[in-house]
Chain A
Amino acid sequence: MSTAAPALPDRRAPVARWWAGVRKVPVVVWVFLLLPVAVEAFWVFWPAANSFSLSMTRWNGVGAAEPVGVKNYTDLLADPIFQTAVKNNVIWVVGFGGLSVLVGLAMAVLLNRPGRGIGLYRAAIYLPMVFSLTVTGMFWRVLYSPDGPVNASLGLLGLQSWQRQWLADPDVALYAVLVAAVWRQVGYIMVLYLAGLKGVDPSLEEAAAVDGANRWQRFAQIVFPQLRGVNAVVFAVTVIDSLRTFDIVWAMTRGGPYNSTQLLSTYMFEQGFTLVNLGYGSAIAVVIFLLAIAFIITYLVRSARTED
């Protein structure tokens, strides 16, 4: 309904012009807009803002919160479990992101062109994506159980020395959970890259093939540079997802054994809800937010470009 604006220059003050713009929109349309905005403001933006102020207090949920300034943040810096969580989150971003992009992109390139069996291969690879992270975690708990198929397969291959209690061993538990998360993520990354590959100009690759470029050269120098847009999205999505990751760790290890699989999100939940240190938990939540914000903005800028 965006009717063409009158051609006359508007000489009124900005506020008056703004108000005129507001009045031009029918009241019922304002109701249409403000109802959802109010719901989101009340259940998302208002709580988010509250986390910032709560992070400056000590509070166990009973009585009044005691203001402590930035003490929660200075405590965090000295908290060894927090340090473990940060380190694990870095491992998670790199390992989870790197592995799922590597496998997802490889599968997208291999399964891009139609052919016999391609539909089946694709369906098999993105099927895990529809399971919840909780279900994925439960599936892999069965697989990792001491007498489960992972250890049994290693035994069959003669790798008895590799067998272990995957989720109870602090040295490997994080990676065991990571493998399960990657298994579920690959399908999603593949879908994103398959869509990106559709936008790749095939004539360029043909020309390169005629000139004698081999498959790898064609991919690295012709196809991959054209995937820049998808790469940016995958990168932002991966980092945002990594900082949110909670369900699968909680379902498989709850951050244990000995906090070896603690991520920022699980440590925040433990502090905020299990131990009811509401101020301290909020401070961890704020840290997660600050780490995510740059990537959220990247994603928003890209989205704004499509909408403008």
Chain B
Amino acid sequence: MGRYASDFRGERHVFRDLAELLAKASPRRSGDELAGLAAESDAQRVAARAVLADLPLTRFLEEPLIPYEEDEVTRLIHDSHDAAAFAPVRHLTVGGLRDWLLSYDATPGVLAALAPGLTPEMVAAVSKLMRNQDLISVASRCRVTTAFRSTIGLPGRLSTRLQPNHPTDDLRGIAAATLDGLLYGTGDAVIGINPATDSVPNCIALLEMLDGLRERHDIPTQTCVLTHVTNAIRIMERGAPVDLVFQSIAGTEAANRGFGVDLAVLREAREAALALKRGTVGQDVMYFETGQGAALSADAHHGLDQQTVETRAYAVARAFSPLLVNTVVGFIGPEYLYDGKQIIRAGLEDHCCAKLLGVPMGVDVCYTNHAEADQDDMDTLMTLLAVAGTSFIITVPGADDVMLNYQSGSFHDALYLRSVLGRRATPEFEAWLERMDMTDRVGRIRQFAPQEGAMRRLLSGQDESLAL
């Protein structure tokens, strides 16, 4: 391990190794302070960025941050690195990559071809040299398209996860929240429930209810109950209707072990889901969640700053061709991201880094009640992310998740973003909304009177299950 030093504008700064250099170059955040990794002063932070800027990208191939022998995520990153794809930027420094990514040469086609040649560490490093507008500019040029029953990530589109959670998994309550969301035109990325009770029979009951609702109305989307991957395997063995396999993942082998998973079990679950052949326009069957702070909270961060180790999780994700990935950016709490400023920055970093690596990133634009954040911060972040081209956002009734006790996006937020930025739902879902007579002449979601067609159609056929 080399030492990294600089005489930056007359001040001498020394960094022990690559991990420390990356950590000190990171924008300030509470999780790195908690871990004792953050820069000791603002000046030291800038000096670290200056050293990082001069570092050749090839250094990240020569010097793994976590030893190859110790960590299967490191092995995955290095074994799957595509040297041919890397060739066009091989000669660059981290700072040179930043400038090149912002140049007019970095077109969507060029960036898509580059993705397999980039490692998470290179991407994390360059993001530390980027301002928020750089993160938005670069991400907006990345195209990552995935498909199952709908096609997510096409230019000009913004999809939504409809998240109809209920504190006791009441089927009627979940169906009610789902219908509410559909009436705002949300759910084209997935209708996905976080179950309150993580048992196999309960998850099967939820899956069957969602699948029945989807089939009855012929909705071109996918459903998911976000249970542990090992539960999903058992649920598929019992023949329940599983579209997508969900799992929370992180950027180190030890952190993934904390989630009770490894690469082998993810592979096994993906193969089982592929065998069901339930997709119509594609067969991307995995759904992952990530989030800065996950590795540190499992004490499995190996001395890496939280943004660098988060980016390594995207290497895990891309190995399984996921339909959807989202960072739960503000969920994990103020000890990792203290306030709106830190949440906004992290959301833009996670989105940009994932997209550069070819991962279909969406964002749970969210916060908890003990963070210094509010709806104004979420408005800012979701608007920036929609400009940056986020694949999807998460939406719940009135922004209030009554099961997980945090605030996410609302169905109304989706209407707002689609209106002000002209973003549309997936082509398949858009056609369904038209068939259901839910859109007006310019494609906006109509506001329904209770007696009206779309409302009646969606609520009818529910009479038995909902006892309206």
Q: Do the two shown chains form a genuine complex with each other?
A: no
Could you list which residues of chain A lie within 8 angstroms of chain B, going by C-beta atoms?
Answer: none
